Chain A
Amino acid sequence: MWRRLFEHWKKIRKGDKILVGLVLVLALAGVLYPFFWEWFGGDIGDLQVVINPVGSERQRIALAEVPEEGMELIVPGPIGDHLVEIFRDGVRVIAPEDDPLKICEKTGWIRRPGATIVCVPNQLGIWLEGSDDTGLDGISE
């Protein structure tokens, strides 16, 4: 099979060979891009996590500036401390032991602009801001 392919290849014109080569290179780049996107100069975008404890100052952290291994933030509140885990590709909250429903923890990871985490007893709101490539203005949930 490879020999026949080689025979055919020899018969193809030089311009067509360049074209085939170009298509193969582009296809390979397309496949590998997601794995090496940061190396190719890609970035996380302009996503920021906003941490808004009621009665305290609002905090903003750009996800692009978060260390690769992620970071943790303790946010104290009347019924205990919330642990906010921030990674470049998402944010989640671990609720304190005394939080009866642990709604914020059940929310899981948020990863897109506009997504929110609400910690009711501690009056803590966390959300992501930034530009969105989905073309959506909001999500009903």
Chain B
Amino acid sequence: MEGSKQKKQFDKRRFIGGAIAVVVIIIALWIRGVDEEVPTGERIQETRYFMDTVVTMQVLAENPEEKADQAFSAMKDLADRADRFNPESEVVKINERAGQGPVEIDEDVFAIIEKGKRIGEETGGLFTIAIAPLMDLWGFGKGMQPSVPDDEEIQQVLPLIALDGIELFPENNAVAIGREMKLDLGGIAKGAVVDYGMEVLKSLGVEAAFINAGGDIRVHGLKEDGTPWRIGIRDPRREDRGHLTDHVVEADTGSVVTSGDYERFFTENGERYHHILDPRTGYPARGLKSVSVTGELCVTADILSTAAFMMGEEALAFLEDYPGYEGLIVTDEGEILTTSGF
């Protein structure tokens, strides 16, 4: 009788202890939930056309329209300053004084050029911001009629597109390029402008944002339901834009950029020539249909995706070794290969 009473008391204590533990766990989970700060502002989407592409922005914040507008204005302004087809741009200033010594430019465009040269050198010169003479020769410049140039002309132009012809003077944001050289930031500007827009949004205190400039995408923060942004990757094996690979990138920070040989191409004598020109040969790169790169900065992903496109299947090993960035390649044979962390 005594023993049974003791047992009953023991069970009761255990029950109370268990209940307290459950309450503590619930409170701990609640506090953690509060700590994660799931965004509470309003989310809007706005789309505009500039940089010769469609730029879509989603902003989750208080007064999101105003913040998106500020970011769009800043992005458009930087894009104009970095556009070699805009006579007022910083790049035109440099190109017009080719071979005549350093030209002082604004710090934002200088930062893009510095990054383009530095990361371009890391790719062994496969990405070059001095590509303009070759692009113009092929007629891939704005409003030009593309055609296959003579091989002799291509060989003459190749020495002009090397990165070592660009000299940087960081102390006064000055750039000097060799005679007959010309810079074209087209392969890097979209990524740089997207990063710039995201920094503006962050400085305005937005909780979460998504910027997509023609497929160059950068995200920040979690959506209002606490989930990450989800980004599909176009399947270049199908001509229609609606088809995607099975890979979906989920992220609350970082970028996704894809370089492909679709759309910007022309056909001559039955052969297809696209606009991603290999600085080693002067001809369109062969071997891959597309390269997608993920990582923190959109500008770096932009450079790496273009450079990797020149490498054929070696692109995978290059991206595997590049710290902080991952990649997916689609070969000409239609095979999809990814780095270990993609």
A interface residues with partner B (beta carbon < 8 Å): 50, 52, 54, 79, 100-101, 103, 106-112, 114-116, 118, 120-121, 123-125, 127, 129, 134-141
* Contact digits for B136-171, partner A, Cβ 8 Å, 1 yes 0 no: 000100111110000000000000000000000000
Kindly list chain B residues whose C-beta atoms are within 8 Å of the C-beta of A137: 58, 210, 219, 223, 229-231
Alpha-carbon gap, A120 to B52, bound state (A): 6
Stretch at the interface among B65-73, B96-104, B117-125, B260-268: B260-268
Query: In whole Å, how far is A89's beta carbon from the nearest beta carbon of chain B?
Result: 11
Give the interface segment out of B198-206, B237-245, B331-339.
B237-245
CB closest residue in chain A, given B293: A140
Q: Are A136 and B230 in contact (CB under 8 A)?
A: yes
The answer to whether residues A140 and B240 also contact, given A118-B53, A125-B54 and a CB cut-off of 8 A, is no
- Min C-beta distance of A56 to chain B, whole Å: 11
A-B pair number, CB within 8 angstroms: 109
* CB-based closest 6 A-B pairs: A125-B49, A141-B234, A116-B54, A141-B215, A140-B256, A140-B258
**Beyond A114-B56, A137-B229, A139-B231, 4 extra complex contacts between A and B, CB < 8 Å:** A137-B210, A137-B230, A139-B215, A140-B234
Q: Bound state CA distance, A72 and B230, in angstroms? A: 34
B212 in contact (CB, < 8 A): yes
B232 to A134, Cβ gap below 8 A? yes
The residue in chain B whose Cβ has the minimal distance to the Cβ of A115 is B241
B248 interfacial by beta-carbon distance below 8 Å: yes
Assess the A103–B230 pair: CB atoms within 8 A. no
User: How many of chain B's residues have a CB under 8 angstroms from any CB in A?
Assistant: 46
Contacts of A108 in B (CB 8 A): 239-241
B41 interface residue per 8 A CB criterion: no
Give the complex CA separation of A136 and B248 in angstroms: 8
B212-224 vs A: 1/0 string, CB under 8 Å?
Answer: 1011110100010
**Cross-chain contact B241 with A118 (CB below 8 angstroms):** no
> How many angstroms from the CA of A123 to the CA of B115 in the assembled complex?
28
The 8 Å CB contact of B231, one of A50, A101, A118, A136, is: A136
Whether the pair B56, A139 counts as a contact (CB closer than 8 A) is: no
CB distance from B309 to the nearest CB of A (A): 14
Which residue of A115, A123, A140 contacts B292 across the interface (Cβ within 8 Å)? Answer: A140
What are 22 inter-chain pairs, A to B, with CB distance below 8 A?
A: A100-B143, A100-B145, A101-B146, A101-B265, A103-B264, A108-B241, A110-B241, A111-B240, A111-B242, A116-B53, A120-B52, A120-B142, A121-B142, A123-B52, A127-B47, A127-B56, A129-B45, A136-B231, A136-B244, A137-B223, A140-B217, A140-B234
Chain B residues positioned under 8 Å from A116 (CB to CB): 53-54, 214
Q: With A120-B142, A140-B233 in contact, do A101 and B240 touch (Cβ < 8 Å)?
A: no
For the complex, is B183 an interface residue (Cβ under 8 Å from A)? Answer: no
Contacts of B142 in A (CB 8 A): 120-121
**Chain B contacts for A101, CB-based, 8 A:** 146, 264-266
- In this assembly, does B257 line the interface, its C-beta being within 8 Å of a C-beta of chain A? yes
Closest partner residue, chain A, to B235 (CB atom): A141
* Contact status of A107 and B214, CB under 8 A, knowing A116-B54, A136-B231, A140-B234: no
A residues within 8 A CB of B145?
A: 100
In the complex, what residues of A have CB within 8 A of residue B215's CB? 139-141
Contact B143 A54 (CB under 8 A): no
Minimum CB–CB distance for B126 against chain A, Å = 21
Bound together, the chains give a CA A57 to CA B143 distance in angstroms of: 23
Residue of B54, B58, B139 touching A118 (CB-CB under 8 A): B54
Who on chain A is nearest to B53 by CB?
Answer: A118
